[in-house]
Protein backbone atom coordinates (compact mmCIF):
# COMPACT_ATOMS: atom_id res chain seq x y z
CA UNK A 1 0.00 0.00 0.00
CA UNK A 2 1.24 3.44 -0.86
CA UNK A 3 0.87 6.49 1.31
CA UNK A 4 -2.34 8.05 0.10
CA UNK A 5 -1.38 11.67 0.59
CA UNK A 6 2.29 12.41 0.15
CA UNK A 7 4.17 15.57 -0.68
CA UNK A 8 2.58 17.54 -3.45
CA UNK A 9 -0.96 16.29 -2.85
CA UNK A 10 -3.63 18.92 -3.11
CA UNK A 11 -5.40 18.85 0.22
CA UNK A 12 -7.79 21.20 1.91
CA UNK A 13 -10.03 21.16 4.94
CA UNK A 14 -13.76 21.64 5.12
CA UNK A 15 -15.35 22.65 8.41
CA UNK A 16 -18.78 21.20 9.12
CA UNK A 17 -20.87 23.24 11.54
CA UNK A 18 -23.62 21.05 12.90
CA UNK A 19 -27.00 22.39 14.10
CA UNK A 20 -27.02 24.47 17.26
CA UNK A 21 -23.22 24.66 17.25
CA UNK A 22 -23.10 21.24 18.92
CA UNK A 23 -19.96 20.09 17.16
CA UNK A 24 -17.54 21.30 14.55
CA UNK A 25 -15.67 18.71 12.53
CA UNK A 26 -12.94 19.08 9.93
CA UNK A 27 -12.43 16.82 6.96
CA UNK A 28 -9.31 16.80 4.82
CA UNK A 29 -9.93 16.22 1.13
CA UNK A 30 -7.62 15.32 -1.73
CA UNK A 31 -8.37 16.30 -5.32
CA UNK A 32 -8.01 13.51 -7.87
CA UNK A 33 -8.98 13.15 -11.54
CA UNK A 34 -10.85 10.15 -12.87
CA UNK A 35 -8.66 8.88 -15.73
CA UNK A 36 -10.27 8.42 -19.13
CA UNK A 37 -10.16 5.09 -20.97
CA UNK A 38 -8.72 2.82 -18.30
CA UNK A 39 -11.46 0.16 -18.19
CA UNK A 40 -9.40 -2.10 -20.49
CA UNK A 41 -6.58 -2.33 -17.94
CA UNK A 42 -6.65 -5.61 -16.05
CA UNK A 43 -5.13 -7.16 -12.98
CA UNK A 44 -5.07 -10.65 -11.47
CA UNK A 45 -7.71 -9.76 -8.88
CA UNK A 46 -11.32 -10.54 -9.79
CA UNK A 47 -12.06 -6.81 -10.12
CA UNK A 48 -10.47 -3.42 -9.42
CA UNK A 49 -12.68 -3.18 -6.31
CA UNK A 50 -11.18 -6.46 -5.08
CA UNK A 51 -7.73 -5.08 -5.95
CA UNK A 52 -8.49 -1.99 -3.82
CA UNK A 53 -9.53 -4.17 -0.86
CA UNK A 54 -6.62 -6.60 -1.18
CA UNK A 55 -3.87 -4.00 -1.49
CA UNK A 56 -4.73 -1.61 1.26
CA UNK A 57 -8.29 -0.40 1.05
CA UNK A 58 -9.61 -2.74 3.71
CA UNK A 59 -11.35 -6.07 4.03
CA UNK A 60 -14.73 -4.53 3.23
CA UNK A 61 -15.86 -1.89 0.78
CA UNK A 62 -16.85 1.46 2.23
CA UNK A 63 -20.55 2.11 2.60
CA UNK A 64 -20.43 5.12 0.27
CA UNK A 65 -18.71 6.30 -2.90
CA UNK A 66 -15.34 7.98 -2.25
CA UNK A 67 -16.53 11.30 -3.77
CA UNK A 68 -17.27 13.79 -0.99
CA UNK A 69 -20.95 13.91 -0.15
CA UNK A 70 -22.01 11.02 -2.37
CA UNK A 71 -24.18 8.42 -0.62
CA UNK A 72 -24.31 5.91 -3.47
CA UNK A 73 -22.82 2.44 -3.10
CA UNK A 74 -19.34 1.98 -4.64
CA UNK A 75 -19.62 -0.22 -7.71
CA UNK A 76 -16.30 0.30 -9.47
CA UNK A 77 -12.63 0.50 -8.67
CA UNK A 78 -11.89 3.73 -10.51
CA UNK A 79 -8.48 4.70 -11.87
CA UNK A 80 -7.48 8.17 -10.68
CA UNK A 81 -4.45 10.45 -10.58
CA UNK A 82 -3.69 13.07 -7.94
CA UNK A 83 -4.32 16.64 -9.14
CA UNK A 84 -1.54 19.25 -9.26
CA UNK A 85 1.30 17.03 -8.15
CA UNK A 86 4.46 15.57 -9.62
CA UNK A 87 3.13 12.10 -8.74
CA UNK A 88 1.60 10.85 -12.00
CA UNK A 89 0.95 7.37 -10.68
CA UNK A 90 -2.38 5.67 -11.18
CA UNK A 91 -4.44 4.77 -8.13
CA UNK A 92 -7.67 2.91 -7.45
CA UNK A 93 -10.54 4.34 -5.37
CA UNK A 94 -14.07 2.95 -4.91
CA UNK A 95 -16.66 5.04 -6.79
CA UNK A 96 -20.34 4.71 -7.61
CA UNK A 97 -21.26 4.12 -11.25
CA UNK A 98 -22.20 7.80 -11.77
CA UNK A 99 -18.85 9.18 -10.57
CA UNK A 100 -16.90 6.40 -12.28
CA UNK A 101 -18.48 7.43 -15.61
CA UNK A 102 -17.31 11.04 -15.21
CA UNK A 103 -13.89 10.57 -16.77
CA UNK A 104 -11.56 13.53 -16.87
CA UNK A 105 -13.43 15.18 -14.01
CA UNK A 106 -11.77 16.33 -10.80
CA UNK A 107 -13.19 14.72 -7.65
CA UNK A 108 -12.87 15.52 -3.96
CA UNK A 109 -11.93 12.36 -2.08
CA UNK A 110 -11.96 12.13 1.70
CA UNK A 111 -8.62 11.72 3.43
CA UNK A 112 -9.99 8.52 4.97
CA UNK A 113 -10.13 6.87 1.52
CA UNK A 114 -6.93 5.01 0.68
CA UNK A 115 -5.44 5.53 -2.75
CA UNK A 116 -4.23 2.05 -3.74
CA UNK A 117 -1.61 1.67 -6.48
CA UNK A 118 -2.98 0.48 -9.83
CA UNK A 119 0.53 -0.54 -10.89
CA UNK A 120 0.16 -4.33 -11.11
CA UNK A 121 3.94 -4.81 -11.23
CA UNK A 122 3.95 -3.52 -7.62
CA UNK A 123 0.87 -5.45 -6.50
CA UNK A 124 -0.99 -8.46 -7.95
CA UNK A 125 1.40 -8.96 -10.88
CA UNK A 126 4.49 -8.96 -8.68
CA UNK A 127 6.63 -12.07 -9.12
pLDDT tens per residue across span 36-59: 666 667 889 989 999 999 998 778
Confidence of residue 79 (pLDDT cuts 50, 70, 90): very high
**For residues 111 and 28, is the Cβ–Cβ distance under 8 A?**
yes
Q: What is the 3-state secondary structure (H, E, C) of the chain?
A: CCCCCCCCCCEEEEEEECHHHCCEEEEEEEEEEECCCCCCCCCCCCCHHHHHHHHHHCCCCCCCCCECCCCCCCCEEEEEEECCCCCCCCEEEEECHHHHCCCCCEEEEECCCCCEECCCCCCCCCC
Q: What is the pTM of this model?
A: 0.77
**For residues 47 and 94, is the Cβ–Cβ distance under 8 A?**
no
Q: Is the pLDDT of residue 17 over 80?
A: no
Which of 19-23, 26-30, 83-87 has the lowest average pLDDT? 19-23
User: What are the domain boundaries of the chain?
Assistant: 11-117
Q: Per-residue pLDDT averaged across 64-68, rounded?
A: 94
Q: Is the pLDDT of residue 32 over 80?
A: yes
How confident is the prediction for the chain on average, in pLDDT? 81
Amino acid sequence: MLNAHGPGSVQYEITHNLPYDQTTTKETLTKVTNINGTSDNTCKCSSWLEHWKKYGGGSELPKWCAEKGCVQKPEAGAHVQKDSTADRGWYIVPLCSKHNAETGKSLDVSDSTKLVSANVSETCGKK
